[in-house]
Amino acid sequence: MKYGFYGSAEALKVREKSGALKGISTPCDVYDVLSGIWCRETCAPRMRDQWTPENRTYGQCSITAFLVQDIFGGEVKGVLLDDGNYHCYNVVDGHVFDLTSEQFDRALTYSPDDKIQRREDHFRKEEKKERYICLRDRFFLSVK
């Protein structure tokens, strides 16, 4: 399958090490499962009016990046956007990829100097923590 997210070729080089998740070897496999799970409910509340099934990654970045970190390790980093918010992506074993980059109509610039994002900071917002738990639970139910 051809993937449209940033770093998809790099993501194919990242491997799930535990072997505990049926059918999940690479972040591309995670993307395949999430494609059927991302929804308005998991979208950031301030962005829900613009969420559509055609742009399913819209408003899903941080919760997706932290789920990917749970599975593959690595770091979650953030690209500073014009509105002052960070768009989250993953760096695992030097491989940079962003499962939710397709939401943008322009290419983002990813840099080694991008700020590391900490879930403790993001999950101070209760709604974000709840969206992450919803996405995580739906994901793990799908791969059992």
- Residues in the chain predicted with pLDDT less than 50, given as ranges, are none
The rounded distance, in Å, linking the Cα atoms of 32 and 53 is 14
In angstroms, the CA 95 to CA 104 distance is 21
Sequence spans of domains, the chain = 8-15+24-142
pLDDT for the residue numbered 3: 95
- The pTM for the full model equals 0.96
Q: What is the pLDDT of residue 17?
A: 84
How does DSSP assign 68-94, residue by residue? HHHHH-SEEEEEEPTTSPEEEEEEETT
